[in-house]
A and B are shown apart, each in its own frame.
Chain A
Amino acid sequence: MIKIRDLEKIYRTEEVETVALNKISIDVKEGEFVAIMGPSGCGKSTLLNILGLLDDPDNGSFLFNNIEVAHFNERKRADLRKHNIGFVFQSFNLIDELTVFENVELPLIYTGVKSGDRKKRVEEVLDKMQIMHRRNHYPQQLSGGQQQRVAVARAVVNNPKLILADEPTGNLDSSNGNEVMTLLTDLNEQGTTIIMVTHSEHDARYSHRIIRMLDGQTVLENIMV
């Protein structure tokens, strides 16, 4: 599903040049659950941003379902993203001015799903995430665990082929964290590819494969048994 080769990302300021990704090459198959680990500043978030088409690489190739997307313009990236990729963030990133229902509905609006279908699909996914009773609440009225469940619901509502999770349990206690990891595992079992950046060895154990990074390069891959 994902094939990146010799991917480079360099951040430049007037005086300093920082290599975030240094000719990195990774393959992710459809249906895989991959965890990316490494110390802060090793480039894992940069990698996730590029995989999520939120950022451009400077060099190298990025094939998404055999299509070269490395140098897509913003419009093409937005189109590919909204149909294929779901995101889960450490800090949930829900829109404060929208209710739970409206937050989850948002990706469907951008993919042009009709109002009746949207309602049905949002309710289905909220039900699945056991958050239906909070549908009319605003994010500030929910606990961290609940907010992350809403974020997961929003990530999956469009049935994306790929979910990118950036430290999804980073702001949660262990009980809520485990719940979110179980949700992600369930989704993966239903066929969704998941790539997760994490600092937590515990969370990484939910994945099929752990890619360890250092200084913008992969240094080790562990296959989980």
Chain B
Amino acid sequence: MFKTYFKIAIRCLLKNKVFSAINILGLSIGIAVCFIISLFVQEELSYDRFNTRANDIYRIEFNANINGGKINESNVMPPVAQALQKDYPEVKEVTRLRTLGKPHIWINEKQFDGSSLVYVDSNFFNVFTIPLIQGNAKTALLHPHSLVISKELAQSFFGREDPIGKLIKFSKKNDIPPFTVTGVFDKIPSNSHFHFDIFGSMITDPDAVSDSWLTSSYYTYAVLQKGYNHKKLEAKLPGMVEKYMGPQIKQHMGLTLEQFRTKGNSIGFKLQPLTAIHLHGDSNTELEARGDIRYIYIFSAVAIFMLLIACINFINLSTAGAVKRAKEVGIRKVMGSRKQELVKQFLLESLLITVIALFIAAILVQLALPLFNELSGKTLVFGFQLKPLAALTLLGLLVSILAGMYPAFFLSSFKPIATLKGKFTTHNSTYNIRSGLIVFQFFIAICLITGTIVVYKQMQFIQNIKLGYNKDQLLVIDNSWALGNKERTFRDLLLNDPRVENVTVSGYRPAGPSFFNNALAYPEGRQNEFMNTLEYRIDERYIPTLGIQMAMGRNFSPSMPTDSLAMIINETAAKAFGFGNNAIGKKIFREHGDQGQHLGYTIIGVVKDFHFRSLHEAITPLLMVLQPETGLIIKVKTKDVQGLLASMKKQWQTFNTVDAFSWSFMDELYNKTYTAEQKTGRILNIFTILTILVACMGLFGLTTYTAEQRAKEIGIRKVLGASVTQVTSMLSKQFIKLVIIACIIAFPLSYWVMNQWLLDFAYRIHLNVWMFAGAGVIAILIALCTVSVQAIKAALANPVKAIRSE
């Protein structure tokens, strides 16, 4: 029996080549997109779950709200770990991690750069599942100056030699004792929220035993008792603030916790489940770029919709083409076939189409995955392993049932008498279902088009917004600190270069990696009104180099000795401190040094607000003091930037032969801030195009069927004098009507969704009617082009032939 079903299925596929191609190609694209997104979503959802204790590990995060300024940091104070371990029996174990960047590494006088170093507590490998392939995980980091390095690094440092016991130096001079390699780990899985090359023993770090509850740089992870509700522990953490932090706040700020809190301020800790860090984390000091659960929802929806659209094509084309199969159904029923046998037959046909689509989808996935990886920044792989293949097969099975079920029941329910007498007509309800499905397809397509337009517009807005500083022609020297006391000489040389307009010594950059300095400050006489602000330590050239505008007052001047206690603030700070337009001459006090002294700074200028953070965040109060540290930002005035860079490099090498000259452009750093949105935008573009393509393929198929079924009617109309335009518009009208209905349904929903997306930007475009009208017009035009091809073909056909064929 199956042999006959199979034969019929193959012959039907070959007979209706266009429709078969539409079905197979549509399903292939749908399955491929769905599968790629599934791989992406699976990877995102699997973050940190490779750890065997993943469900019991929580990261302690610090939250504060100080005069409206929110602090949300995932690194906390050094003694938090000890306090947790000591005071809360439900905490089984605590471990810490402190980042140290990418230091220079010397091995036998040979320099290696680019590897990331962290200090971790000795029990780190007991908490996190990072198996050591050499060394003992329990003892490797018990002693100072011990290191566990990655296998890759071990090979690069020591070749085939045994790395255990080898020495690694972090300074060319002998001012820091060398570290001994005590262990080698294989690789940290890609779905980990951190990736480092070298783990050093925390005991080496003298600051690790500090009892300061006011400085934070330790990522602290607690392992709770199995199944313990972390919310219960979280509820107890205010006790820790009272016990340990309160006295230090009192000592340094002269305020009791009670006084601090009366102004609506808050301070505390929360527990972030390890498995939620990647997608649900909200701290400002994350170890690596986070994912976003909203994008998971969006992409999952796109995957499901894409598959549904392809299934809808299958359903629509199968039911629209029912007339062609009606006779066969009738004959089979007369021959004694039962309904379930026919259902089986049609399901087998959909299975066959799906299997072919699966093969093509597998090829498409292989071809498209590198592109998707490039766009998403992932390293997803689709190997011919059991798990992904089984998943793909399951997906195929699901599709064949989803797409084949309705047509199977629909086709098998035909009455044999009517079909054999040629009196078969599809019911109105079938037409309505088909119309509903087309509306659904275009509803999705229009939502995606609207989304694409809004994302594009917002990205354009980000590119063109007046930032309050000029990011163009700004060159940032990433590692000018490496010049040491030659940094200023290097600056002076650059200032004498006619290709350079200005140079400022500052590591505070409005885009890209920047120095970061939170400062609690209050206006003179109002100590209780302290506020969390950001402090920039700059020189007198910072404001002109970056093209920041003065709103009032003046810039710093090195010729005025009093400027060492002068301050320039931004407009937001002036407003926040209640100075209005009278800020000049007012004093602001801030904590200075570790001993808690408070120094007053006189405001000499107010700069116009400029965006020194991503546009996701609102501009906050900024204080600038004349206290240049290190870092160089150069304003260039030449088109030959490469020539300038070459001579700078040459100059650099005369001062420093160890460190490579490293630079970035400020506008590129700025663009990188929005990489996630840009990537999402690009991925969305591709999905939108594919969705429209598949939806249009279905529409094309349906128009073809309609034209075939109405051939006689069209023939008669033409004989009676209908023009090609009239016939074309008659055929197109019914489909365009459906697209318009889809627009009406899609607009409110896409308005709501895109508005939610935009809310995440403190600075955003406003949704206007043209974005939606544009999406509607695009959808209608695309649908019109698709439908017209077949409609015109039908209208141009010889009417005599159509009438005779009936």
Residue numbers in B under 8 Å from A205 (CB-CB): none
From 718 to 747 in chain B, residues with beta carbon under 8 angstroms from any chain A beta carbon are none
| In-complex Cβ contact of B331 among A81, A83, A93, A105 (8 A) | A93
| In-complex Cβ contact of A93 among B4, B330, B336, B338 (8 A) | B330
Contact A89 B420 (CB under 8 A): yes
Residue numbers in B under 8 Å from A83 (CB-CB): 336
| In-complex Cβ contact of A82 among B336, B339, B420 (8 A) | B336
Told that A81-B334, A83-B336, A93-B331 touch, could you supply 14 new A-B pairs with CB distance under 8 A?
Answer: A52-B334, A78-B333, A78-B338, A93-B420, A95-B328, A95-B332, A97-B328, A106-B335, A107-B335, A109-B1, A110-B332, A110-B336, A110-B337, A154-B335
Q: B422 on the interface (CB 8 Å rule)?
A: yes
Which chain A residue shows the least CB distance to B337? Answer: A110
Q: What are the 8 tightest A-B residue pairs by CB atom distance, in nearest-first order?
A: A82-B336, A97-B11, A110-B336, A107-B335, A78-B338, A95-B328, A81-B336, A93-B331
Q: Can you sample 13 A-B contacts with CB below 8 Å?
A: A78-B333, A78-B336, A79-B336, A82-B336, A82-B337, A87-B334, A93-B330, A93-B334, A94-B331, A95-B327, A95-B328, A98-B4, A106-B335
Q: A75 on the interface (CB 8 Å rule)?
A: yes
Residue numbers in B under 8 Å from A55 (CB-CB): 417
Taking beta carbons and an 8 Å cutoff, which residues of A are in contact with B? 49, 52, 54-55, 74-75, 78-79, 81-83, 87, 89, 91, 93-98, 102, 105-107, 109-111, 154
Residue numbers in A under 8 Å from B416 (CB-CB): 54
Q: B12 on the interface (CB 8 Å rule)?
A: yes
CA distance A207 to B1 in the complex (A): 37
Residue numbers in B under 8 Å from A107 (CB-CB): 335-336
Q: B689 on the interface (CB 8 Å rule)?
A: no
Q: B287 on the interface (CB 8 Å rule)?
A: no
- Annotate B533-570 by CB proximity to A: 1 below 8 A, 0 otherwise: 00000000000000000000000000000000000000
Contact A102 B4 (CB under 8 A): yes
CA distance A49 to B422 in the complex (A): 15
Q: B15 on the interface (CB 8 Å rule)?
A: yes
Between A78, A102, A111, the greatest number of chain B beta carbons within 10 A of the residue's beta carbon is seen for A78
Between A79, A97, A105, the greatest number of chain B beta carbons within 10 A of the residue's beta carbon is seen for A97
Say how far B579's CB is from chain A's closest CB, in angstroms: 82
Contact B332 A93 (CB under 8 A): no
From 335 to 349 in chain B, residues with beta carbon under 8 angstroms from any chain A beta carbon are 335-339, 341
From 442 to 467 in chain B, residues with beta carbon under 8 angstroms from any chain A beta carbon are none
Residue numbers in B under 8 Å from A82 (CB-CB): 335-337
Q: B801 on the interface (CB 8 Å rule)?
A: no
Residue numbers in B under 8 Å from A97 (CB-CB): 7-8, 11-12, 15, 328
Contact B417 A102 (CB under 8 A): no
CA distance A111 to B337 in the complex (A): 9
From 1 to 49 in chain B, residues with beta carbon under 8 angstroms from any chain A beta carbon are 1, 4, 7-8, 11-12, 15
| In-complex Cβ contact of B7 among A74, A75, A96, A98 (8 A) | A98
Residue numbers in A under 8 Å from B12 (CB-CB): 97
Which chain A residue shows the least CB distance to B419? Answer: A93
| In-complex Cβ contact of A75 among B1, B338, B417 (8 A) | B338
Between B336, B338, B339, the greatest number of chain A beta carbons within 10 A of the residue's beta carbon is seen for B336
Residue numbers in A under 8 Å from B4 (CB-CB): 98, 102, 105-106, 109
CA distance A107 to B341 in the complex (A): 13
CA distance A184 to B332 in the complex (A): 22
Residue numbers in A under 8 Å from B422 (CB-CB): 91
Residue numbers in A under 8 Å from B334 (CB-CB): 52, 54, 81, 87, 93
Say how far B412's CB is from chain A's closest CB, in angstroms: 11
Residue numbers in A under 8 Å from B330 (CB-CB): 93
CA distance A78 to B338 in the complex (A): 6
Contact A98 B335 (CB under 8 A): no
Say how far B75's CB is from chain A's closest CB, in angstroms: 70
Residue numbers in A under 8 Å from B336 (CB-CB): 78-79, 81-83, 107, 110-111
Contact B7 A93 (CB under 8 A): no
CA distance A111 to B334 in the complex (A): 13
Say how far B375's CB is from chain A's closest CB, in angstroms: 44
CA distance A165 to B708 in the complex (A): 32
Say how far A103's CB is from chain B's closest CB, in angstroms: 9
From 388 to 435 in chain B, residues with beta carbon under 8 angstroms from any chain A beta carbon are 416-417, 420, 422
CA distance A82 to B332 in the complex (A): 10
Say how far B389's CB is from chain A's closest CB, in angstroms: 32
Which chain A residue shows the least CB distance to B4? Answer: A109
CA distance A97 to B337 in the complex (A): 17
Residue numbers in B under 8 Å from A109 (CB-CB): 1, 4
Between A83, A95, A154, the greatest number of chain B beta carbons within 10 A of the residue's beta carbon is seen for A95
Given A97-B12, A97-B328, verify A110-B335 contact (CB < 8 Å).
Answer: yes
Residue numbers in A under 8 Å from B8 (CB-CB): 95, 97-98
Residue numbers in B under 8 Å from A93 (CB-CB): 327, 330-331, 334, 420
Say how far A41's CB is from chain B's closest CB, in angstroms: 13
Say how far B333's CB is from chain A's closest CB, in angstroms: 7
CA distance A107 to B327 in the complex (A): 16
Say how far A4's CB is from chain B's closest CB, in angstroms: 18
Residue numbers in A under 8 Å from B327 (CB-CB): 93, 95-96
Residue numbers in B under 8 Å from A81 (CB-CB): 334, 336
Residue numbers in A under 8 Å from B1 (CB-CB): 109
Residue numbers in A under 8 Å from B328 (CB-CB): 95-97
Residue numbers in B under 8 Å from A94 (CB-CB): 331
